[in-house]
């Protein structure tokens, strides 16, 4: 999900998924997030922030 807005006091972030649906997400388990970050979210909790460290699929 993509972070739209951050509520630092409550440890929550308003996020939108691929279809545009919005939800409040718990961010206690990841480093501080900012608008535009892409998070992996499970059951309303962010488990990690996606970063560009992937290897291109082998051709």
Partner 1 sequence: MKFVDEFRDAELGRAVAVEILSRVEPGRHYKLMEVCGGHTHSIYKYGIDDLLPANVELVHGPGCPVCVIPMGRVDDGIAIAHHDGVIFTCFGDMMRVPGSSGSLLDAKAAGADIRMVYSPLDALRIAKQNPDREVVFFAIGFETTAPSTALTLRRARAERLPNFSVMCSHVTIVPPLRALLESPDLRLDGFIGPGHVSTVVGARPFQFIPADYGKPVVIAGFEPLDILQAIAMILRQLADGRSEVENQYKRVVPYEGNLRALEVMAEVFELRPHFEWRGLGFISHSGLKLSEAYADLDAEARFRVPGVRVADPKACQCGEVLKGVIKPWECKVFGTACTPERPIGTCMVSSEGACAAYYNFGRFAREREVV
Point out which residues bind partner 1 (CB under 8 A): 18, 23-24, 26, 28-30, 38, 40, 42-45, 47-48, 50-55, 57-59
Residue 19 beta carbon to partner 1: minimum distance, rounded to whole angstroms: 10
**Conformational region of residue 43, where left means phi above 0, alpha means psi within -120 to 50, and beta covers everything else:** left
Residue 40 beta carbon to partner 1: minimum distance, rounded to whole angstroms: 6
| Measured CA distances, 57 to 39, 43, 48, 54 (Å) | 22, 29, 22, 9
The residue (of 24 and 35) whose beta carbon lies closer to partner 1 is 24
């Amino acid at each position: 999900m993509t972070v739209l807005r951050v509520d630092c006091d409550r440890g929550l972030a308003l996020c939108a998924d691929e279809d545009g649906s919005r939800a409040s997400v718990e961010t206690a388990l990841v480093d501080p997030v900012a608008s535009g970050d892409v998070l992996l979210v499970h059951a309303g909790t962010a488990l990690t922030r996606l970063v560009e460290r992937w290897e291109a699929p082998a051709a």
